[in-house]
Amino acid sequence: MVQVLRPDEVREKYGPMFCRGFFTMVDEKAGVAQIVERCTARGPVEWDTVNRRRTKGVITDIVLKSDTMVMDAVIGDSELNFGPVSVDMGAQGIKALKVEGDEVRTTWFGIAGASVGIGACIPQCQDVIRTEYPDDFKMGGAHSATVDIITPKMVRVVIGIDDTDTKEKGASWVTSMRLGTQCPIGRFLEHRIIQLNPKAPNKTTNCCSTAVSFAVREEDIPALIEYAVEFVRNDSYSDDTVMTVYQGLRIPDALQEFGWSCKSVLYTPEDAIAAAEANGVQIISVTGMKGVIGAVAAIGCFDLGEKAAGIPEDFE
């Protein structure tokens, strides 16, 4: 018989632990997922990062950002590879990730001290719906443990913005930061400033667009978009503001190529509209349409890391 515990019940049973955030985004069309886990300190996530990379399972990549792990994964099952060191060092990994309606189930295995992380720490995070434990569950010491952690099914929404300012006042990157930090819908993930072609004839000063991403439940996407449009409209000083929206964990290659080329090529609004239509990007005229090139490029460059902020010459 499986024992099912809510986060508050886990906390009452094992005492307070350290997980500050744990949520899962899925892209079912691409067959991939992304898990974001935030800890109170860097030490545990460093250890978990190394161990989860070693064991692999459904995890394909992990990026460590201060006290936060961002884990890329595939949807499905995959065997764990603890290796010969597990008996002496402990180990931890995800064997399966499955979408079940509006929930995501991840199946975890942990050995020795690593079993405490999956048995007591993550399960008491308020982002978790419930955790399912087998009857013979034991953690810590020399024990091996397995649990199923169930979280809400979320998706990533990227919002691109351009042309909210004038030569006298405003800054689009400030508008997007305000949107990300003040939006009450979903979870604010990342912010980007995208450097565009400095030779663009219609730029204000720096010729930058901007974008933010959110983890959000699918049913809340319309409310997120509505909120964002009104927020950007109220924060804009320009008559040419455009907002773009993309849903998914993987930006199409063609859209990334368009975004990167916007740093050196002068495109027309028609070019940007065609790139958006071909790659699943929604274009919203907030106060006008002149900002469409930068707003589409912001989506294309969103996952390029530091390259989003520079021009090609910076990376030669």
Give the containing element (helix H, strand E) for 173.
Answer: helix 172-182
Structure tokens at 47: 């250890």
Across the chain, mean pLDDT equals 92
Q: Which of 91-95, 183-187, 257-261 is the least confident region? A: 91-95
The mean per-residue pLDDT over the stretch 274-292 comes to 97
Output 313 or 284, whichever has higher pLDDT: 284
Tell me the C-alpha distance between 82 and 102, whole Å. Answer: 31
Tens digit of pLDDT for each residue in 30-61?
A: 999 999 999 999 999 998 998 898 888 999 99
Output 249 or 197, whichever has higher pLDDT: 249
For residue 252, is pLDDT > 90?
yes
Tell me the C-alpha distance between 108 and 145, whole Å. Answer: 8
Single-letter amino acid, residue 23: F
The mean per-residue pLDDT over the stretch 97-117 comes to 91
The mean per-residue pLDDT over the stretch 93-105 comes to 97
Tell me the C-alpha distance between 293 and 43, whole Å. Answer: 42
Q: What is the pLDDT of residue 168?
A: 64
Tell me the C-alpha distance between 115 and 270, whole Å. Answer: 55
For residue 112, is pLDDT > 80?
no
The answer to whether the Cα torsion of 258, 263, 264, 265 is positive or negative is positive
What are the domain boundaries of the chain?
3-154, 163-315
SS3 117: helix
For residue 141, is pLDDT > 70?
no
Q: What is the pLDDT of residue 207?
A: 81
The mean per-residue pLDDT over the stretch 136-145 comes to 78
Structure tokens at 43: 């030490």
Output 113 or 101, whichever has higher pLDDT: 101
- Strand 19-27 to strand 144-162: parallel, antiparallel, or no bridges (unpaired)? parallel
Q: What is the pLDDT of residue 78?
A: 94
* φ, ψ for residue 107, nearest 5 deg: -105, 120
For residue 118, is pLDDT > 80?
yes
For residue 167, is pLDDT > 90?
no
For residue 134, is pLDDT > 60?
yes
Q: Is the pTM of this model over 0.85?
A: yes
Class (C level, CATH) for 163-315: alpha beta
Structure tokens at 270: 């028609």
Distance of CA 139 to the CA centre of its chain: 30
For residue 204, is pLDDT > 60?
no
Burial of 314 (C-beta count, 10 Å sphere; 0-12/13-18/19+): exposed
In sequence order, which residues have a C-beta less than 8 Å from that of residue 275 and are 6 or more positions away?
Answer: 254, 255, 258, 281, 296, 300
Beta strand residue intervals within the chain, DSSP E: 3-5, 19-27, 32-39, 59-65, 68-74, 76-77, 91-100, 103-111, 130-133, 144-162, 187-195, 208-216, 242-247, 282-285
| Residues forming a β-bridge with 89 | none
For residue 289, is pLDDT > 80?
yes
Contact yes or no for 198/232 (Cβ under 8 A): no
Tell me the C-alpha distance between 266 and 220, whole Å. Answer: 36
For residue 155, is pLDDT > 80?
yes
Q: What percent of the chain has pLDDT over 70?
A: 92
The mean per-residue pLDDT over the stretch 122-140 comes to 93
Q: What is the pLDDT of residue 82?
A: 74
For residue 87, is pLDDT > 50?
no
Q: What is the pLDDT of residue 89?
A: 52
